Amino acid sequence: MKMPDINEYMTAGELIDWAQANLKIMKPKEALTNSEIREIMRWIGMCSVDTIFAGGEKPVMGRIGIGLMLTVTLLEFPEYYAKYELSQFN
């Protein structure tokens, strides 16, 4: 089995740019409001491979989608991540 090329993956910043373009949020990352960050992260989670849509509309995100949202938030918006206490200590 061939290992995937790391150049085939999107960076966290590229995911943010992709989400912003699809949501038509045209402003620098530094100028985003908390509401816009939340909308962007939710959109990224909805695009995850393990997200299903209950009743055809309501997204139910799985572990991959939730993990992706948390990781991208931590990497790109650490202040938001800390403010909303998104880390969990087990």
DSSP string of 11-72? Answer: PHHHHHHHHHHHHT--S-GGG--HHHHHHHHHHHHHTSTT-EEETTTEEE--HHHHHHHHHH
pLDDT for the residue numbered 66: 95
Q: Where are the domains of the chain?
A: 6-83
- Predicted structure pTM score: 0.86
Distance CA 79, CA 90 (A): 22
Between 5 and 50, the higher pLDDT residue: 50
pLDDT for the residue numbered 61: 94
Spatial neighbors of 73 by CB under 8 A, at least 6 apart, are 37, 41, 80, 81, 86
pLDDT for the residue numbered 1: 63
pLDDT for the residue numbered 2: 67
Q: What is the pLDDT of residues 28-59, one digit of tens each?
A: 999 999 999 999 999 999 999 999 998 878 99
The radius of gyration of the chain's CA atoms, rounded to the nearest angstrom, is 14
